[in-house]
Chain A
Amino acid sequence: MGVIHGEEMVLNIGPQHPSTHGVLRLKVKTDGEIISEITPVIGYLHRCFEKHCENMTYDQVIPYTDRCDYLAAMANNFGYVVAVEELMELKVPEKVEYIRVIMAELQRIASHLLALGVYGLDIGAFTPFLFMLRDRERILDMFEMTCGARLLYNYMWVGGVSHDLPKGFVETAFQFLDYFEPQIEEYNNLLTYNKIFIERTADIGVLPADVAISYGVSGPNLRASGVKWDLRKNDTYSIYDKFEFDVCIGDGGQGTLGDCWDRYYVRMLEVKESVKILRQALAQMPKDGDVHQALPKKIRPPKGSIYSRTETPRGDLGFYIESDGSPIPTRVKMRSPAFTALSVLGELAGGWMMSDVISILGSLDIVLGEIDR
């Protein structure tokens, strides 16, 4: 009995679809259930971020960077502020560095929780989604305690932060960490080692390391393919060299190296490492210091350009800033990690079935706000 080839059908997923991570359109050519070609179409959320940067001053750009990757707004602020400070050769006080690292790691936990919860939701597991969002709300409570906002903070400024940590923040944070560490075990029992989840994600969408590097994939997606590359260790910025933590890489635990389960598992391990960093940072942080001490009166970087990268929950976020000495930047280009992660979807998804495509897309953890800017 030979193989029956039907006609190829062109299906359209999105741009409005509950399982995409924003407004993404996928043009899918299928032969029955098997996919032969997949083309992402983006641009449905292009909000002209780079044009706004050319018309606003350096500190007015910070709220716009928040809105690019809205799931990890602190990390975006951090990346931009580190780039501008490097251009201006500005040094910030030690307390500010500690506060920034604490906020960035809390944001990493919150972003990974959402990514993992929504991934479970895509596969069909509703309970882990609710549990993870419940814990994420506690982190958002801490952010709200500090700067008043739940999702988009405008917290890290060039030369400092906008508000000092309130009284009781360190105690609340330690209480949260003590509550949260056993929860990771609960998530592992519910989802990570769940037989159905493993069936749906192991051996699917394998990304080899050299393809990943050529496509510019970074962050947990790259580490799941076995490449030990973390900007916090390899290209250190801020005070990350003062903390002890491991770089988690995938090891093909439940299937091939670099499959969807590895990408999921690396994120889960990173949450554990972030808890480690947080404990050290909260203990080592200097108690007193003025966070507004190094804020410049007028932000006027010298003429020149810089490309600087930081590690966000999605990968390396790069900012290419060119300045001509005036308070308004000439060009700000944001190189987002989700852009490169989505570009590899075409390579990964050929030959799989429709529901596997949803699985692969969820494991890449993309945010359309960052891709379209």
Chain B
Amino acid sequence: MSADQEKLITELVGKGLAGDMDPINAIEDRVLRSKAKAALAKAKRAAKTATTAAPTEEKPATETIAETPPSDNPNKKFGKMIEDTFQGSLDAELNDTHIQLKPDNWFEIAKWLKSEPSLYFDSLQCHTGMDVGENMLEARYNLHSMTHDHKIEIRIAVSRDKANIPSIEQIWRIGDWFERETYDMFGIFFDGHRDHRRMLLPEDWEGYPLRKDYEVQETYHGIAIPKVKVGWE
């Protein structure tokens, strides 16, 4: 595209953003007209994300000004309580969506979360494994309280070479099966689990399927596993 064409398109996009579509529609050359329309669509999308980004950028500014009132968001509130009770266990700053913990004293924290009367998280709703890239694996716990009806999400990140997290299956009994499944799919080891073996895949399967770099094995008991069914594409 030549320089004057680029300049012309920028001008037309400016007019189009202001609401004036006639100059673009009046272009004789079909290729140039379509290029202008594509550039206008891109500019509109960029403008929309800029406006949605702007309010969130303002929020931290107002938060630092008015930091003293305690946050109502459960993740922030309970994250602060965890930090007060068990120093040094947070792995990242408090935020709205989750609480990031270090794996070291997770078992004690979990026991406290279940037994503390104002929290009383008696049900582990969901346990997810994640491959977050950069050689890190994560285990995410969604906890919920039936009595107080509040919920939080806790994330624990470990590296692939030393993927060990304390097991909480004695606290929430469903953790038994959830952790076995996460071990099966991701290869995260849960220390202290009384029955640590694969759940869904056969015992002699190789590899952990839900990791992003998983390569399926060639054969299983003599049955060849084709990578893609030949001739079906």
Given contacts A42-B199, A43-B200, A216-B172, contact A333 B128 (CB under 8 A): yes
Q: Does A343 contact B (CB under 8 A)?
A: yes
Q: Which residues of B contact A134 (CB under 8 A)?
A: none
Alpha-carbon separation in the docked complex, A204 to B123 (Å):
25
Residue of B nearest to A373 (CB): B200
Given contacts A216-B123, A216-B125, A340-B174, contact A42 B146 (CB under 8 A): no
Residue of B nearest to A372 (CB): B200
Of residues 170 through 224 on chain B, the ones whose CB sits less than 8 Å from some CB of chain A are: 172-174, 176-177, 185, 198-202, 209-210
A43–B201 CB distance below 8 A: yes
Measured between C-beta atoms, what is the minimum distance from B68 to chain A in Å?
Answer: 28
B200–A46 CB distance below 8 A: yes
A–B complex contacts, Cβ < 8 Å, 25 sampled: A42-B199, A43-B198, A43-B200, A43-B201, A46-B201, A48-B209, A50-B185, A50-B210, A51-B210, A54-B210, A213-B123, A214-B123, A215-B173, A215-B174, A216-B123, A216-B124, A216-B174, A307-B153, A318-B126, A318-B142, A320-B126, A331-B128, A331-B130, A335-B125, A372-B200
Kindly list 13 other residue pairs between chains A and B, CB separation below 8 angstroms, not including A213-B122, A213-B146, A331-B130: A42-B199, A43-B198, A48-B209, A216-B125, A227-B146, A304-B97, A316-B125, A320-B126, A320-B128, A333-B128, A335-B126, A339-B177, A343-B176
Residue of B nearest to A222 (CB): B146
Measured between C-beta atoms, what is the minimum distance from B96 to chain A in Å?
Answer: 10
Alpha-carbon separation in the docked complex, A43 to B201 (Å):
6
Interface flags for A358-373 (1: CB within 8 Å of B; 0: not) read 0000000000000011
Q: Does A197 contact B (CB under 8 A)?
A: no
Alpha-carbon separation in the docked complex, A307 to B122 (Å):
18
Q: Does A234 contact B (CB under 8 A)?
A: yes
Q: Does B233 contact A (CB under 8 A)?
A: no
Residue in A46, A51, A320 whose beta carbon sits within 8 Å of that of B142 in the complex: A320
Residue of B nearest to A47 (CB): B200
Measured between C-beta atoms, what is the minimum distance from B97 to chain A in Å?
Answer: 7
Q: Does A238 contact B (CB under 8 A)?
A: no
A214–B174 CB distance below 8 A: yes
Residue among A54, A211, A229, A307 facing the most chain B CB atoms (10 A cut-off): A307
Please list the 6 inter-chain residue pairs (A to B) with the smallest Cβ-Cβ separation, ordered nearest first: A216-B174, A43-B200, A335-B126, A46-B200, A333-B128, A214-B173
B172–A305 CB distance below 8 A: no
A214–B126 CB distance below 8 A: no
Q: Does A270 contact B (CB under 8 A)?
A: no
Q: Which residues of A contact B128 (CB under 8 A)?
A: 320, 331, 333
B199–A43 CB distance below 8 A: yes
Measured between C-beta atoms, what is the minimum distance from B80 to chain A in Å?
Answer: 22
Residue in B97, B126, B174, B209 whose beta carbon sits within 8 Å of that of A333 in the complex: B126
Q: Does B140 contact A (CB under 8 A)?
A: yes
Q: Which residues of B contact A307 (CB under 8 A)?
A: 125-126, 142, 153
Of residues 232 through 259 on chain A, the ones whose CB sits less than 8 Å from some CB of chain B are: 234
Alpha-carbon separation in the docked complex, A146 to B125 (Å):
35
Given contacts A51-B209, A51-B210, A307-B126, contact A320 B177 (CB under 8 A): no
Measured between C-beta atoms, what is the minimum distance from A53 to chain B in Å?
Answer: 10
Residue of B nearest to A332 (CB): B128
Q: Does B149 contact A (CB under 8 A)?
A: yes
Measured between C-beta atoms, what is the minimum distance from A310 to chain B in Å?
Answer: 13
Given contacts A43-B202, A213-B146, A333-B126, contact A343 B210 (CB under 8 A): no
Given contacts A43-B200, A331-B128, contact A214 B122 (CB under 8 A): yes
Q: Which residues of B contact A340 (CB under 8 A)?
A: 174, 177
Of residues 34 through 57 on chain A, the ones whose CB sits less than 8 Å from some CB of chain B are: 42-43, 46, 48, 50-51, 54
Residue of B nearest to A229 (CB): B146
Measured between C-beta atoms, what is the minimum distance from B233 to chain A in Å?
Answer: 14
Q: Which residues of B contact A59 (CB under 8 A)?
A: none
Q: Which residues of B contact A304 (CB under 8 A)?
A: 97
Alpha-carbon separation in the docked complex, A234 to B126 (Å):
18
Measured between C-beta atoms, what is the minimum distance from A137 to chain B in Å?
Answer: 33
Q: Does A112 contact B (CB under 8 A)?
A: no
Q: Does A263 contact B (CB under 8 A)?
A: no
Of residues 153 through 170 on chain B, the ones whose CB sits less than 8 Å from some CB of chain A are: 153
Residue of A nearest to B176 (CB): A343
Of residues 298 through 346 on chain A, the ones whose CB sits less than 8 Å from some CB of chain B are: 304-305, 307, 309, 316, 318, 320, 322, 331, 333, 335, 339-340, 343
